[in-house]
Amino acid sequence: MAQFDTAHIHRLQHPPLALGGRGARILSELVTFGGPVAWQTLAAEVWPEQVEPEVLRHRLDVNLARLRSRLRGAGIRADLVRNDGAGQVELLLCEGDTVEDRT
């Protein structure tokens, strides 16, 4: 479930992972985009204030690392949120994964 301010990841026989802050916002934006998106586009949605591209990229990289760390810590695959190596970020859903967008 993605709601921008919070996001919850539910798995059978596991407690849900509740995310807040920038991690929830990143995950929610990726749900909204529905596919790979340029890092600049994603970052501009999360940080709409005007900042230099280098600062924006650093903020995104730091927050993606934190999000992936939270995912790993909860036993969720870190590549759920992945970079494709060509400047795109995506929510990588596998068979059986579903998204419920409540925006």
pLDDT tens for the chain, residues 1 to 103? 445 789 999 988 999 999 999 999 999 999 999 999 999 999 999 998 888 999 999 999 999 999 999 999 999 998 999 998 899 999 999 888 888 877 6
Identify whether 101 is part of a domain.
Answer: no
Q: Residue holding tokens 């900042």?
A: 51
Please state, in angstroms and rounded to a whole number, the distance separating the CA atoms of residues 27 and 14: 20
Question: How many domains does the structure of the chain reveal?
Answer: 1
Model confidence, pTM: 0.89
For residue 79, what are the domain limits?
6-91
The amino acid present at 93, given as its one-letter code, is L
- As given in the structure block, the two tokens for residue 73 are 């810590």
Residue 49 lies in a domain: yes
Asked, for residue 41, whether it belongs to a domain, the answer is yes
CATH number at 40 reads 1.10.10.10
Q: Per the domain annotation, does 97 fall within a domain?
A: no
